[in-house]
Structure 1
Amino acid sequence: MAKSISHIGDFIEQTSKRNKDSAILNVLSVSNSQGFIQQSEQFENRIVASDDTSNYKIVARNDFAFNPARINVGSIARLTTFERGIVSPMYICFRTKNNLFPEYLDYFFESKRFFAEIQKRLEGSVRQCLSFEGLCNIPLCIPTVEVQQQIGKRLSTLAKEIKLEIDFLELLQRQKRFLLHQMFI
């Protein structure tokens, strides 16, 4: 049986609900290393957001967003740290449909294959950008939802274990510095 080629666009839908009444005040940015963060964290001591945020796009938990001009450096993320927030109108926002587990797509976005596919689809001469259509045209193999969930859970567990090991290493390094300092007082 031949495997059919699917594309990301078969499994996502673009969102662009606006903050019309300016009710949501949580202005977010997408960092290439930390994912969604409050804009005040990314731009310390500067207010980058417009005074009028009524045109900003609303993102909810498990929605994705990316800066079209910075996706080539990894500025794409899934909202997991807040229930909702708003992002600049320049961001492209989308969510997965029911047949795609958001965590599965999240890990795909961290893969070398995804970055290679992005490079093929960047447009522009001075500042290269990826359009929503370009994102939608990226090929994607999708296993069953159950397998996607298993993969997502395993990768999440591994990520947590790696973080624990990194935190433990940091504690050991601090202990070493302390002990060396105590030896030579």
Structure 2
Amino acid sequence: MYKTIEELVDKIDERNTDGSVSELIGVSIDKCFIKSVANTNGTDLSKYKVIRKNDFAVSLMQVSRDSKIPVARLEEYDVAIISPAYPIFRVKDENLILPEYLDMWFKRSEFDREAAFIAVGGVRGSMPWEEFAKMKLPVPSIEEQRKVVQAYKTITDRIALKKRINDNLAAALSSMYKEFFTVGTPENLPAHWKIAPFSDIADVIMGQSPE
């Protein structure tokens, strides 16, 4: 069963009118939220949009140029604020579609290609919200969605674990390299080490032998 995005989500326009939220974020081209490094001193944060956990934010500018829509689901914060330029939307009924499942669909390269094709006629390659909202996606049963989401989570968790292992191995190798090959001065050499000519460990068969 296929449904349009507008059948599945509500567009949200909650503003930070009382200025109570100060965590400012944005959406990257890699479809994740990034903490803003902008200097907000003197900025009126009451005009910024409030985004809550499991809400989505999307940038619909220059879609055809980038061949990608920066769209992400908020997981890192319970609440944050974002530029008014970003449309914010929220799943209407989690018994119909899981936010995690929708998030997975947005990450597909096929979604980006379809969006870029639609956006070709837009001003500067942008996509109006109305066109974005008309895009369709398959919506299986909620039980099937849970299975797909769990399988995806298992794979991504394994990838993250392997990355941590690789990072730890790289750090360990770097430490070993520094320990064994950064010898410093002759007085600081490890026991049984010495500084000697290269010719003591190799035969030079071309060019002049180093002294």
Normalising by the residue count of structure 2, what TM-score does the alignment of the two structures yield?
0.75
Question: What is the 5 A alignment of 1:17-166?
Answer: 17-33=14-30, 35-40=32-37, 46-47=38-39, 51-69=43-61, 72-98=67-93, 99-122=96-119, 123-125=121-123, 127-166=124-163
CA-CA distance at 1:27 after TM superposition:
1.4
Note closer, same or farther for the CA distance 1:75–1:48 as it changes in structure 2 (3 Å cut). farther
Question: What is the 5 A alignment of 1:161-172?
Answer: 161-172=158-169
Once residues 101 and 79 of structure 2 are traced to their aligned partners in structure 1, the CA distance between those partners, rounded to angstroms, is: 21
Secondary structure class of the residue paired with 2:46: coil
Q: Is the 8 A contact 2:56 2:88 kept in 1?
A: yes
Once residues 16 and 75 of structure 2 are traced to their aligned partners in structure 1, the CA distance between those partners, rounded to angstroms, is: 20
Question: Which of structures 1 and 2 has the larger relative contact order (alpha carbons within 8 angstroms, sep 6+)?
Answer: 1
Q: Is the 8 A contact 1:77 1:106 kept in 2?
A: yes
Q: Is the 8 A contact 1:49 1:88 kept in 2?
A: no
Once residues 115 and 31 of structure 2 are traced to their aligned partners in structure 1, the CA distance between those partners, rounded to angstroms, is: 20
Q: What residue identity is the alignment partner of 2:177?
A: L
Secondary structure class of the residue paired with 1:18: coil
* Long gaps (5+) in structure 1: 41-45
Question: Alpha carbon RMSD of aligned pairs, Å?
Answer: 2.0
Q: Deviations over 1:88-146 (max 9, x none)?
A: 11101001121110000111111111111111221435x32222212212120010112
Q: Is the 8 A contact 1:68 1:131 kept in 2?
A: yes
Normalising by the residue count of structure 1, what TM-score does the alignment of the two structures yield?
0.85
Once residues 169 and 133 of structure 2 are traced to their aligned partners in structure 1, the CA distance between those partners, rounded to angstroms, is: 45
Percent identity of paired positions between Structure 1 and Structure 2: 26
Q: Which has the larger radius of gyration?
A: 2
Q: Is the 8 A contact 2:9 2:89 kept in 1?
A: yes
Deviates more, 1:18-27 or 1:157-166: 18-27
Once residues 119 and 48 of structure 1 are traced to their aligned partners in structure 2, the CA distance between those partners, rounded to angstroms, is: 33
Once residues 153 and 49 of structure 1 are traced to their aligned partners in structure 2, the CA distance between those partners, rounded to angstroms, is: 42
Once residues 36 and 121 of structure 1 are traced to their aligned partners in structure 2, the CA distance between those partners, rounded to angstroms, is: 25
Q: Hey, which bits of structure 1, 4+ residues long, moved more than 6 A?
A: none
